[in-house]
Every structure is written in C-alpha cells, then in structure tokens.
Amino acid sequence: MQAASLGIPFQPIRGLHGTDVATAGGFAIVRDPYSGEEVYAIPRIRPDWAVLHVHEADDQGNARIYGSPGYDLVMAEAAARVILTAERIIPGEECAAHPELTKVPGLFVTAVVRLPGGASPCACMPDYDVDPAGIASYLDSAASEAGLRAYLERVNP
C-alpha cells in the first residue's frame, strides 16, 4: 500500500532474501540503479475502499487521529475511496481553526459516519483501550461464516 499511496507501481524491498516469501509471492528482482544491489519489487496494492476509524471528523471528512495513526494515512492515500467512522463529528470551523490537527484531509474521503465505539474491540486511545475478551470472542466466532454472522448480530443488535 505504501507504493499505491506514493502513486508508484511497486515498492523496492530488500529484506526478503533468504526467505520463501518472495518466491511464494512471485515478486520480481530488480537492480538498484544507484548501488547495484538486487532488491525485490513488490507490486502496489490499491484497494477500492478503506474504512478508517478516527477520533474526530467534520462533515467534509477532515479527520483527526490522536496518537499514532499507524497505517491509516497510507491506507487513506492508497485506496480509491475512503469511509470514515468517527467517535465524534465536530464543526468544520473547529477543523479550520487548527488545520495542523487534521491527519486525513477531506479530499480523500467519500463518506463520514458517527460511530462511537467503532474501533471496539480494538483500541481508540485515549477514548478506550483494547478489549481482550472482545477480541477473543471475535476470534472464536470468525472461524466460520455463520459464527461471524452471529458475532456481528450480537455486537451490533
């Protein structure tokens, strides 16, 4: 996804030598024109959609993520379209007053949904922490389609 977020067709990776990952993935080897080193060319992944959970967003999709965004920013740039779920919807004027807090600009966003607790059972720090029992319940249920369907109905009545 890093390659897609940068608008390039592949990402050179040097850490796969000596593993079966490159062979299993069918990755090509290319020569670095600067060092002469052989590296693997990993094709970009450009998903149609990314669904990201954020702390705050305005109705135009300008989003704030407090703490580490992890790969959320890369996914937002790599995907063709983005849906945001947000703990809180804030006025656009608030985003405009502090643009430095906007991590995902609205130009990447197709839709915004207010969904408090939407990252659960994972964390949305500092609003709430990881729910280990919730993750265990999901993992137990996700082994089959019927189990996953029952889990989703149970947590989203």
pLDDT in tens, 81-106: 999 999 999 999 999 999 999 999 99
**3-class secondary structure, 43:** strand
pLDDT for the residue numbered 156: 78
For 36-56, write each residue's pLDDT tens digit. Answer: 999 999 999 999 999 999 999
Closest C-alpha to 87, from 111, 116, 51, 64:
116
Confidence band of 157 (pLDDT split at 50, 70, 90): confident
Mean pLDDT, residues 67-86: 93
